[in-house]
């Protein structure tokens, strides 16, 4: 196996890790208004419980995206250039949504005002729904193929990108991340919030199974390889298990299976893509592959040594963070708000 194959696999691992970890972050943000309704007298407290489940880890989870994009730029600059220029609008919208989400999470508790918190909540909701949908949209279009010319420029228009397969991919990642987040909330909360999260996860499990099942089957039949049927079976079996486990209120095992489902789907996309990195619908000769899109062998060698040294440190540190903040959170552990108060004239 050459370094080009190694770095394709590493980029797949980085994005898979991002989808697993940031996936439940998105799900938590999407479900926050459902589990903390404003008409409920305890609504704000419940929303704070929900938000605190990801409080210690959400920013660390985003590092996987930064690392993945950086590795993509360094290892496959042609892939990076065509991808980020061709999908400029959706990727910019993802970036804006993530920035809004960061600000909303960080600033929500700075002022003790309902209007302020409501605006921050909308920022969290926007910053969770938009990336959850657009990541599926972008990756489905990459696998399906786009118009790439002889100059490695992507010429597909918005109408070309709004195809049934890409829209199904967007719906799939939205539902899978929402289910992943609901199960995570059931695992990380206690008392009434946990009870409601378990019910919500059970309600989401069947539509997620149907939509995600249709997407992975379409992916396999249209773009998959013989051995990737294993990934289809793994994803489908994991989601079937989630349906049963959420009804049995076994959220620990259910979260394990949603993690497997996200990982299997992500690996299926990358495995179906290989050895191309961006297929061209104009001419197979214009495909971007791991050979014609990669950096020099020396660059890949230096990157490999750096990754071999730094990756274990990052994994150990992030694993330690999750271990330290492993306890459940309930409403009676949430202190009164201490944000600033201003008198409005």
Rounded to whole angstroms, the Cα distance separating 184 from 24 reads 7
Q: Could you state, in order of their start, the residue ranges of all structural domains in the chain?
A: 3-328
pLDDT value for 155: 86
Rounded to whole angstroms, the Cα distance separating 3 from 304 reads 8
Average pLDDT per 10 consecutive residues for the chain, totaling 345 residues: 89 95 94 78 81 89 90 93 91 95 90 86 94 96 92 84 94 96 93 90 95 96 94 95 93 94 96 92 90 90 89 88 87 73 60
* Helix 3-35 / helix 251-273 crossing angle, nearest 10 deg: 140
CA dihedral 116, 118, 122, 127 (to 10 degrees): 60
Rounded to whole angstroms, the Cα distance separating 200 from 26 reads 15
pLDDT value for 46: 86
According to DSSP, the residues that pair with 289 across neighbouring strands are 276
Q: Are 340 and 111 in contact (CB under 8 A)?
A: yes
- Single out the residue of 9, 20, 14 nearest to residue 173, CA to CA: 20
pLDDT value for 341: 67
pLDDT value for 109: 84
pLDDT value for 340: 65
pLDDT value for 143: 94
């Amino acid at each position: 196996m050459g370094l080009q194959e190694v770095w394709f696999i590493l980029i797949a691992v980085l994005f898979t890790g991002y989808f697993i970890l940031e996936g439940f972050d998105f799900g938590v943000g999407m479900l926050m208004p459902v589990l903390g309704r404003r008409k409920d007298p305890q609504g704000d407290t419940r929303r704070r419980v929900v938000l605190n489940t990801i409080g210690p880890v959400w920013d660390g989870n985003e590092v996987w995206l930064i690392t993945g994009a950086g590795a993509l730029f360094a290892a496959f600059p042609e892939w990076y250039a065509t991808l980020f220029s061709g999908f400029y609008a959706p990727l910019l919208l993802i970036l804006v949504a993530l920035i809004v989400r960061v600000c909303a999470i960080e600033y929500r508790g700075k002022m003790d005002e309902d209007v302020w918190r409501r605006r921050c909540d909308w920022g969290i909701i926007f910053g969770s729904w938009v990336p959850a949908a657009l990541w599926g949209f972008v990756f489905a279009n990459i696998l399906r193929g786009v118009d790439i010319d002889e100059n490695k420029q992507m010429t597909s228009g918005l109408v070309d990108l709004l195809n049934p397969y890409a829209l199904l991919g967007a719906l799939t990642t939205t539902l899978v991340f929402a289910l992943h987040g609901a199960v995570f909330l059931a695992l990380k909360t206690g008392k009434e919030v946990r009870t409601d999260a378990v019910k919500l996860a059970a309600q989401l499990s069947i539509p997620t199974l149907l939509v995600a099942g249709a997407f992975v089957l379409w992916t396999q039949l249209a773009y998959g390889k013989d051995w990737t049927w294993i990934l289809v079976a793994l994803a489908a079996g994991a989601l079937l298990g989630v349906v049963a486990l959420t009804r049995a209120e076994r959220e620990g095992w259910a979260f394990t299976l949603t993690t497997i489902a996200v990982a299997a789907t992500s690996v299926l996309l990358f495995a179906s893509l290989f050895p191309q990195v961006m297929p061209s619908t104009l001419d197979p000769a214009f495909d971007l592959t791991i050979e014609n899109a990669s950096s020099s062998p020396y660059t890949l060698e230096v990157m490999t040594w750096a990754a071999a040294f730094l990756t274990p440190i990052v994994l150990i540190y992030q694993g330690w963070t999750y271990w330290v903040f492993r306890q459940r959170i309930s409403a009676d552990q949430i202190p009164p708000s201490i944000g600033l108060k201003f008198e409005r004239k």
